[in-house]
Structure 1
Amino acid sequence: MSVLIGISIFPLDKGESVSEYVARAVEVIEKSKFPYVLTPMETVVETDTIESALKLVEDCFKALEIDCNRIIINIKIDFRKGRVDRIKGKIESVEKKLGKSLSKV
């Protein structure tokens, strides 16, 4: 089983640049040991259960709640039975169809 979750979490009350707070959430994700990919707009994480995905969102929230008065969290969840390693597999599937590796920044 695979649960892919796209999470975007940031405070609204900390000014224009919020990377310090996003970094806190990424640290939580990194400590979870689940595979993830950081992108400019969200972080995609692969877990093995919906419960672990939702717990990870809660842990990210708690990391910001300490000193943030207003927090936005956007999540997308893609559940699929019988699959694993989908972050890598989905990217490789598109690259195969394109006939080339996608550029890495």
Structure 2
Amino acid sequence: MSVLVFVSMTPLGKGESVSAYVAKVVDVIDRSGLPYVLTPMGTIIEGESWDEVMEVLRRGFEELRKECPRISITMKIDYREGRSGRIKAKVESVQKKLGREVRSLKG
């Protein structure tokens, strides 16, 4: 099985630039060992189970919560049985149909 999650955790009331806070969450994700791709608008994470991915997101939330009393979280989840490695495979599938590579963030 594969669980892909696009997540954006944004502290509210912390000013215009929040990259220092985002970096704390990305550090938790990176240390988890799960495959992920950081994008300008959020992070895509892939895990083998719902619980595995949600535990990483919980830890990221708890890290952010230490300094941020208000947090906006946006998530989009794609659960699929029988597949893994979908962060790269989904992009490769589109490129194959186009017959060429397109600009994308490298996972």
The normalised TM-score by structure 1 is: 0.94
SS at match of 1:84: coil
User: What 5-or-longer segments of structure 1 have no aligned partner?
Assistant: none
SS at match of 1:76: strand
Residue 63 (structure 2) aligns with: 63
Q: How does 1:8-47 map to 2 (within 5 A)?
A: 8-47=8-47
What is the distance in 2 between the residues matched to 1:64 and 1:102? 34
What is the distance in 1 between the residues matched to 2:78 and 2:46? 9
Q: Identical aligned pairs, as a percentage?
A: 50
Runs of at least 4 residues of structure 1 off by over 6 A? Answer: none
The normalised TM-score by structure 2 is: 0.93
User: What 5-or-longer segments of structure 2 have no aligned partner?
Assistant: none
Residue 77 (structure 2) aligns with: 77
- The 3 A distance-change label for structure 1 pair 54 and 94 is same
Query: Considering only aligned residues, what root-mean-square deviation do their CA atoms show, in Å?
Result: 1.1
Residue 101 (structure 1) aligns with: 101
Deviation at 1:104, TM superposition (A): 4.8
What is the distance in 2 between the residues matched to 1:75 and 1:57? 10
